[in-house]
Amino acid sequence: MRRPIVVGNWKMYGALSDALVLATAIRNGVENFSNLEAIICPPAIWLPEVAEVISKKNDHISPGAQNIHYLSEGEYTGEISAPMVKDVANYVIVGHSERRKYFSETTEIISRKVAAAVDADLSPIICVGEEKVAADSAEKVSRDLKNLLVDIKKNEYKKIIVAYEPVYAVGAAEPANPEYCAKVIQKLREVVGYESPILYGGSINPGNVFEFVKRPEIDGVLVGRASLKASDFIKICRIVSEYKKII
């Protein structure tokens, strides 16, 4: 059985003091959810401090980065490389819709980031999703994922995590339809095989997460806004842990 995963993407929020309080509360709150892996992705500037906090108590909560450059080093002011991240974290989000929208990241750029992460022994959390629902959405998202994996070998797919995030649901008032998402994820499963966890992301909160994780196709969730409130994120982790433990 693939491990259940909950990823918290803190985006560009919080001072160091906020990050340390939040990380400590989450660490303490999920310490008994041993069948679950919680991954915390703070702003890059707080990553070492957050990594130190969450690594003190258990081995099923891990730090992750929100972004990397696709080169290992160079004259790229303000960027961080996969080898740099590997010194403090195990995971990195790549291909998030906000990176595509605000930083014009293309499929080619994202695929190079995926390869850079795998080469550095980081697990990339690869985000894919369509702008709007259409009859061929599953095919389009599946094709996008294939294109993002062109530079890694199939035997390396076990290192990746896929996050299906319909763009219209990111930051929205409501998530996407769970049944529809399960069907798209079934199509993504045909691309990556059995071993790679596939998550749903997009306006997840404690009130709706069960509708997603009760579906066997969905291995966990990528959480945005709700990951900035410790009590909400812990509730989400509890629901994922308890339900996936039962099945």
Q: Active-site positions?
A: 96, 165
Instruction: Quickly tell me which residue has 């992301």 as its tokens.
Output: 201
First to last CA, the chain: 10
The number of beta carbons lying within 10 Å of the beta carbon of residue 35 is 13
Number of neighbouring beta carbons within 10 Å of residue 239 = 20
Interhelix angle 47-54/16-29, rounded to 10 degrees, is: 30
Instruction: Please give the Cα distance from 143 to 97 (Å, whole number).
Output: 16
| Residue position matching structure tokens 């319909």 | 166
Strand pairing report for 37-41 and 220-223:
unpaired
**Under 8 Å CB-to-CB from 139, ≥6 apart: which residues?**
187
For residue 74, the tally of other CB atoms under 10 A from its CB is 9
